[in-house]
Structure 1
Amino acid sequence: MQHINLRQIEAFKAVIETGTISRAAQLMGISQPGMSKAIAHLEEDTQLQLFDRSKGRLAPTEQGMRLYREVEQIFAGVRQVENAVEVIRREEKGQLSIGVMPALSGDFVQRATTNFLASRPHVFCSVETLGSQWTVDRIASRKLDIGLIDSGLEHPYLITEPIMVHPIVCIMPLGSPLAEKRVITPSDLEGVPFLAPDPARIFGHQIQRMFQEHDVRPKNVLAANALQTMCGFVAEGLGVSLVHPLVISGMRDRVIVRRFEPEILFHFVMCRSADNRNAMLVEEFATHVRALAAEASLATSEMV
């Protein structure tokens, strides 16, 4: 067997993942004949038949797929090294990377980050708005330092800390007949145009289950996975909804807010890696998050 080179392996991986020589060549920025030659040389050097050829198409053989699984492990290791390099650079330069769920991506994370930078003006911050599961995954792989997420997600290598626990509220357009009530109950929403939180998320599932338990069927007119988006639709008169009071902090003049019973608690959580080498900056940012969360909790308790 001849020695194989990295370029041949990259070409082989590209063909497997794209499915054709032409797409693989485009991905790697080489000519199609060059890609075909690289694959032919790899088969010659390894003395393995990696692809079946039929009418100009390539299909990986069993030997080809076995080799691909080995190659994937190698490239996964390379990605881990790349992540480690990024972590080291971030630590050396004084950088903090923050992941935040959409519900906290507005005023809350802006104020927390601004307060942090006031005390650490030479630190570079990056803020990514992601779903909670994506944030957890990126912290676990060291692509983020700290995350603000909703509850219900666990990871063995992450530390989680509750930062805010509030009961949800009912919001409605200005002039809604429901505004005459001080407290909204499930039966009040029977047949009422309703904007539903995404049922695939924990909060949306809680709302769906609550309606089922009370045998109430609101008139679902829209579902959204971003609570701020849903608040905007409510303000435009599309219907009523149930949300965390924090997400309507900038919309008090556009919607009516009422207490909802039975009480359904909504949890926000801060999470980080248990062995984060950027621990000092992470803890300083966490201190600002806690202070702002305490302030927000006081404000939301006075909201309804």
Structure 2
Amino acid sequence: MVKKSSWSGGWATLRDLEIIKTLIEVRTATLAAELLGISQPAISRTLSLIESRSGCVLFKREKGKLIPNSDALSLYEEIVKISDSFERLTKFEWNKEEKKSLRIISTPTIAYCFLMPLTAQYIKENPDVTVKIDIVTASKLLSNLNEGRADIALGDSSLNTASINVSAFPLRRTKIVCAMNRLDELASKDVITPEDLNQKRMIVFTKRNISRTKLDRVLDKSGVSYNIIAEVSDSYLALDFVRANVGVCLMPSFPVSTINDPQIIFKDFIPEVLNDSSFFTLSNLNSPHIQRYLEYIYQKQPIPDRYSEPL
């Protein structure tokens, strides 16, 4: 039998295997040389070196013919597999795959205002892809991902990933802004500070919202006292209250600042509070069609603006 050998300094190169394959198929060194475009002595010399390195005689010489033995034919089966693999690679078409599915989860506002329009465009450009998008709370993003209910999660970059093996793909950095109705008494100010919010009617996020935690730290440090008139789970709901002019809300500017609503304006908030968003996937998930989707969304996201920028 052919001795086992590592490819590093092993007994045959890919060119050597091509020569063995051709010799088995045509049975003469002369014809093999003609097919491979090298000299007959080169074929014979290579075969001699292969048999010497492997420690195995592969052919029986009979009347000018090279008759492969069982070892040679066993080797031939493996060479054909390698040859077929290279043949598939030569015909490989980038980005051409069988129909693939993407299971995506996200929090409401960024899903409705940002992710869904771009995903719809992605499907138009990639008709071989099907998509399932679920809306979940931020607290369930990583658990759903870890339990195999989704391939991709989009959420706040500060989500605690310590307990599961996930990879993060940063998407965008966003400033917290103050959303208000155009008729609000603060509408004439260019910049809103915590002191401006003292005793102000406020719409705030529920305590499980990561942005609420960040903002509570800032407002608590300033010592101001404000009047909470509504707690909501996402920015979309907050904007409904703002539109009705019942209060103001501190919220991540992206993607709500892209909403064209004549009743709502956004003001800078100082001190600056940043909110980063990222895609998350399981670390052991090596899928080209998932990576292609992430790259597409990243490249198609809005250019940098006053309040946010790609990471």
Which range, TM-score by smaller chain? 0.5 to 0.7
2:105 — aligned with what? Answer: 99
What runs of 5+ residues in structure 2 fail to find an aligned partner?
A: 1-96
The 5-angstrom pairing of residues 181-200 of structure 1 reads 181-200=189-208
Distance in 2 between residues matched to 1:158 and 1:253, nearest whole Å: 41
Task: Answer whether contact 1:194 1:240 (CA < 8 A) is retained.
Answer: yes
1:128 — aligned with what? Answer: 134
Cα distance, 1:130–1:297 mapped onto 2, change above 3 Å: farther
Alignment TM-score, normalising by the size of structure 1: 0.65
Larger radius of gyration: 2
Partner of 1:216: helix, strand, or coil? coil
1:261 — aligned with what? Answer: 270
The 5-angstrom pairing of residues 264-283 of structure 1 reads 264-277=273-286, 279-283=287-291
1:113 to 119, 124, 147: 119
* Deviation, structure 1 residue 92: 7.1
2:256 to 238, 247, 259: 247
* Deviation, structure 1 residue 128: 0.4
Distance in 2 between residues matched to 1:196 and 1:274, nearest whole Å: 34
Alignment TM-score, normalising by the size of structure 2: 0.63
Distance in 1 between residues matched to 2:306 and 2:299, nearest whole Å: 13
* Deviation, structure 1 residue 299: 6.7
* Deviation, structure 1 residue 157: 1.2
Matched, 1:220 2:228: yes
Letter in 1 for 2:206: D
1:164 — aligned with what? Answer: 172
What runs of 5+ residues in structure 1 fail to find an aligned partner?
A: 1-90
* Deviation, structure 1 residue 264: 0.4
Partner of 2:187: helix, strand, or coil? helix
Distance in 1 between residues matched to 2:160 and 2:197, nearest whole Å: 33
Task: Answer whether contact 2:201 2:228 (CA < 8 A) is retained.
Answer: yes
Residues matched between the structures, number: 210
* Deviation, structure 1 residue 139: 1.6
Cα distance, 1:300–1:214 mapped onto 2, change above 3 Å: closer
* Deviation, structure 1 residue 301: 5.0
Distance in 2 between residues matched to 1:95 and 1:200, nearest whole Å: 31
Task: Answer whether contact 1:191 1:219 (CA < 8 A) is retained.
Answer: yes
Distance in 2 between residues matched to 1:98 and 1:231, nearest whole Å: 25
2:156 — aligned with what? Answer: 150
1:298 to 285, 295, 305: 305
Cα distance, 1:299–1:147 mapped onto 2, change above 3 Å: farther
Matched, 1:288 2:296: yes
1:180 — aligned with what? Answer: 188
* Deviation, structure 1 residue 161: 1.9
Letter in 2 for 1:169: V
Distance in 2 between residues matched to 1:226 and 1:145, nearest whole Å: 23
1:48 — aligned with what? Answer: none
Task: Answer whether contact 1:164 1:297 (CA < 8 A) is retained.
Answer: no
Distance in 2 between residues matched to 1:191 and 1:99, nearest whole Å: 37
Partner of 2:256: helix, strand, or coil? helix
Letter in 2 for 1:97: R
Matched, 1:208 2:212: no
* Deviation, structure 1 residue 222: 0.6
* Deviation, structure 1 residue 296: 5.1
Task: Answer whether contact 1:193 1:240 (CA < 8 A) is retained.
Answer: yes
1:56 — aligned with what? Answer: none
2:245 — aligned with what? Answer: 237
The 5-angstrom pairing of residues 62-73 of structure 1 reads none
1:138 to 133, 138, 144: 144
* Deviation, structure 1 residue 145: 0.7
Cα distance, 1:135–1:225 mapped onto 2, change above 3 Å: same
Distance in 1 between residues matched to 2:225 and 2:257, nearest whole Å: 25
Distance in 2 between residues matched to 1:137 and 1:93, nearest whole Å: 27
Task: Answer whether contact 1:231 1:248 (CA < 8 A) is retained.
Answer: no
Partner of 2:159: helix, strand, or coil? coil
Off by >6 Å, runs of 4+ in structure 1: none
Partner of 2:305: helix, strand, or coil? helix
Distance in 2 between residues matched to 1:282 and 1:257, nearest whole Å: 34
